[in-house]
Copies of this chain bind each other. A is one copy, B any other.
């Protein structure tokens, strides 16, 4: 039998999938054990796709999904109509390969239930970190291990902007404009710069890592719009750089095991492997009990890299059809509670402009003590009219750190809170 594939959408990624399906047809057939045939491509404006054979193009995605196809590949993005189409496909027993992180981060439960009802496969390696094999290794290679933490750079646009701010000395707004002009940021960059894209990916990573249902709403999210050149300079002064990190971790609170998932800018040491990760690249650290630290690095976006991940999944689901069997379904058996960031231990870097007179450090330090936050390092530097005071804390609950900063900002001796940023990637 020939495996018949329906494509929903044909943008940057979809066009590469179509190209590779054709170019690699013989290889794919050998790896699957049967031929693969593109049965149709649903698009909104067929005339915009001159590279796709006209008889394959259709505007009726619903009819295509309901036709005699074995696998549905979805690269439309967004919640609707992808959600309805993939739900119908899965309920109809068609296997699904999707790159849709937003959909997976919101409606994984519903989609997996649909897949379960008909015994179909649902694969989505391309939804996180583009070409980097990450979900399959976490879900399958580490299936006998216990993942404790996942930390990585999973959004290229913000990584480009932060890197550019670091090297050029320009501010956030100017750098974002430049990034848009060069095509590194979308016309509406909200999903990237406000961290929604990274939060969706973090939800997916956490769900798989901890066998727990985590949705985008469970993810604490801070974007990069508030990152200033003062933050960058403060980081540089301490041999650090700023990256937007997605962090998924197991936490203990009151003797109960829980998970916490967050996306926010953080200072990391310039010597940290993530510090060297450039614009279009993504890198993710996975820490497991037995395996120790693992790092996965590669292109996190782009048509061809993402298409590589889509096709890897396509071969897997097609092969499952040929030889029988199924990939793993949703695994949420652990059902751990999700902790808010306020309860999670983090470390802060705080840079202040303070009055240049004796007793200031003591006044500031007493606020930390009051909130039970321990100070790891202090650097004080006199200037003409005021002094600069830089404090790095030990780990403490995020809520305590925030309250500390709020109270310090109100001290009469504190003229300005120059920079407040979490610190990651180093031992306290």
Q: Which positions in A face B, CB cutoff 8 Å?
A: 16, 20, 24, 27-28, 30-31, 125, 131-133, 136-137, 140-146, 211, 273, 288-299, 304-305, 307-316, 319-320, 323-326, 328, 331, 333-334
The answer to whether A20 and B144 touch across the interface, beta carbons within 8 angstroms, is yes
What are 24 inter-chain pairs, A to B, with CB distance below 8 A?
A20-B145, A20-B290, A31-B211, A31-B333, A125-B141, A132-B294, A133-B140, A133-B294, A136-B136, A136-B140, A136-B141, A137-B141, A140-B312, A140-B316, A144-B312, A289-B304, A290-B308, A291-B309, A292-B299, A293-B298, A295-B298, A296-B297, A297-B297, A325-B326
- How far is A299 from B142 in the complex, measured between Cα atoms in Å? 13
- How far is A292 from B143 in the complex, measured between Cα atoms in Å? 27
Tell which of B137, B292, B299, B333 touches A133, judged by Cβ atoms closer than 8 Å: B137
- How far is A320 from B20 in the complex, measured between Cα atoms in Å? 29
The answer to whether A292 and B304 touch across the interface, beta carbons within 8 angstroms, is yes
Beyond known contacts A30-B333, A325-B325: 5 more, CB 8 A cutoff:
A31-B328, A137-B141, A143-B311, A295-B295, A320-B325
How far in angstroms is the closest Cβ of chain B from A315? 4
How far in angstroms is the closest Cβ of chain B from A386? 41
How far in angstroms is the closest Cβ of chain B from A177? 28
The answer to whether B142 and A24 touch across the interface, beta carbons within 8 angstroms, is no
Q: Which among A132, A288, A309, A312 has the greatest number of chain B C-beta atoms within 10 A?
A: A312
The answer to whether A288 and B308 touch across the interface, beta carbons within 8 angstroms, is yes
The answer to whether A305 and B326 touch across the interface, beta carbons within 8 angstroms, is no
